Amino acid sequence: MRLNWLAGLLLMAMPLSAAAEEQEPLLDLSAPHLVAKALQDAGYKAEIAKSKSGDPYIKSAANGSDFTVEFYGCELANGCGSIQFYSWRKKESWYTPALANRWNTRKRFLRIEIDEDGDIGMHLDVATVGKLTKANFADVIDWWSVMSSDLDDFLAKEEEAQPKAAKPAGS
Amino acid sequence: MGDFKTMRLPVLAAAALSALCLAVPASAEDTAPCGGGLVCANNPATVTAALEKAKFKPTLTKDAEGDPMIESEESFYKFQVYFYGCKDHKNCDSLRFESSFEKAPENTPDFANKWNAKKRFLQAYVRNDGEFVVAYDVATIGGLNQTNFGDVLDWWHSQLGELATFFKEELKLPDAKPEKPKG
Our count of domains for chain A comes to 1
The CATH number of the domain holding residue A69 is: 3.30.1460.70
**Among candidates B22, B94, B112 on the partner chain, residue whose Cβ is nearest the Cβ of A107:** B22
Residue A130 sits in which domain range?
24-160
Residue A31 falls inside a structural domain: yes
The answer to whether B144 and B152 are in contact (CB under 8 A) is yes
CB A67 within 8 A of CB A85: yes
B140 vs B177, higher pLDDT: B140
Whole-angstrom CA distances from A6 to A9, A19, A77, B123 are: 5, 21, 41, 57
Return the pLDDT at B5: 31
CA distance A12 to A4: 12
The answer to whether A104 and A111 are in contact (CB under 8 A) is yes
Q: Is the pLDDT of residue B176 over 90?
A: no
pLDDT, position A10: 46
Which parts of chain A have pLDDT scores under 70?
1-24, 165-171
Taking contacts as CB-CB distances below 8 angstroms, the residues of chain B near A125 are 120-121, 155
Of B125, B139, B146, Cβ closest to residue A101? B125
Do the chains contact at B25 and A140, CB–CB below 8 Å?
Answer: no
Domain assignment present for residue A19? The answer is no
Angle at B33 between CA B29 and CA B39, to 5 degrees: 85
Give me the CATH code for the B10-15+35-171 domain, please.
3.30.1460.10
| Band of residue B62 on the pLDDT scale cut at 50, 70, 90 | very high
Q: Is A151 a member of any domain?
A: yes
Give the Cβ contact number of residue A95 at 10 Å: 19
CB of B84 less than 8 A from some CB of A: yes
Strands B123-126 and B132-139, bridge-based pairing: antiparallel
Confidence of residue B76 (pLDDT cuts 50, 70, 90): confident
Q: Which residue has the higher pLDDT, A120 or B21?
A: A120
Q: How far is the CA of A37 from the CAs of A45, A81, B72, in angstroms?
A: 9, 17, 38
Task: Tell me phi and psi for residue A83, to 5 degrees.
Answer: -130, 160
Q: What are the φ and ψ backbone dihedral angles of B69, each rounded to 5 degrees?
A: -155, 145
Tell me, yes or no, whether A171 lies in a domain: no
Does any domain span residue A11? no
pLDDT attached to residue A79 = 96
Among A119-133, B8-22, B115-129, B155-169, whose mean pLDDT is lowest?
B8-22
Mean pLDDT of chain B: 86
pLDDT in tens, B155-175: 999 999 999 999 999 998 875
What average pLDDT does range B140-161 have in this prediction?
97
Residue at A52 is within a domain: yes
Residue A16 lies in a domain: no
Q: How far is A9 from chain B (nearest CA, A)?
A: 24
The ipTM estimated for the assembled molecules is 0.85
Please tell me the distance from the alpha carbon of residue B80 to that of residue B68, in angstroms, as a whole number: 11
Residue A8 lies in a domain: no
CA atoms B31, B35, B36, B40: torsion sign: negative
Q: Which H or E run includes B148? A: helix B146-171
Question: What pLDDT, on the 0 to 100 scale, is given for residue B73?
Answer: 86
